Structure 1
């Protein structure tokens, strides 16, 4: 029995989206070349075509005919995808607690002083918005 489709992009789909968020529209051959060079992910041309078409069917990409090939571009924004994945992680792993999620992140990663300053600014802004 086939595995049900994921509501979030797969690892390969995310790699493709990252490429297309940086530069688009791109034909299959350029997406494949960037997967090999930037993501160190060698794939057959047919595998890339199949994945791009699946992403199109899922509503993640746009495509338009250009000569004999298609040009692909993202249909979704990075923030939209990140929000969905983060929301899923928040609910499934941290029982909906943003503070538990942030505390885990702070405890398990190396954050430099510049990033901490940015977090303080965001927290201050959010606190003011709720006052």
Structure 2
């Protein structure tokens, strides 16, 4: 039985989106080369197929060639929207909607240095002030 389509990008779709978010628009060749430079070597046809699927899903758009015959692709969904959606889904499914449980788990698995902890404290204090207003 086929896996149902997810509203969120798959692992490979997310890698491609990250490439496009960093420097868009890009041709298939540019996407493939950037993925390969990051350690994810894929066949040219695989990248073509993935980008076509992502166009169908509304994740990227196919732009007309500027010169020559190479189409370019640009993201239609933003990094922030994707990250908020995926994180919200994770919080709901794994932590039953508990932000506190997420934070406790984060402290258990992440190696946070003193600067990161100070930054998190500032963010928490800001959120507390906002909640009081």
TM, length-normalised to structure 2 = 0.94
Corresponding residue number in structure 2 for 1:118: 119
Deviation at 1:95, TM superposition (A): 0.5
Deviation at 1:2, TM superposition (A): 2.4
Corresponding residue number in structure 2 for 1:47: 46
Q: C-alpha deviations, 1:64-113, integer Å up to 9, x for none?
A: 11042211111111110001110111001101000010110011110111
24-33 or 105-114: which moved more? 105-114
Q: C-alpha deviations, 1:4-43, integer Å up to 9, x for none?
A: 11211111111111111110100000000011111x1111
1:30-109 matches, cutoff 5 A: 30-38=30-38, 40-66=39-65, 67-109=68-110
Corresponding residue number in structure 2 for 1:6: 6
Structure 2 CA distance, aligned partners of 1:41 and 1:2?
A: 25
Gaps of 5+ in 1: none
SS of the aligned residue for 2:112 comes to coil
Gaps of 5+ in 2: none
Structure 2 CA distance, aligned partners of 1:52 and 1:75?
A: 12
Structure 2 CA distance, aligned partners of 1:4 and 1:69?
A: 32
Q: C-alpha deviations, 1:45-69, integer Å up to 9, x for none?
A: 1110010111111111122110422
Q: 4+ runs of 1 displaced by more than 4 Å?
A: none
TM, length-normalised to structure 1 = 0.95
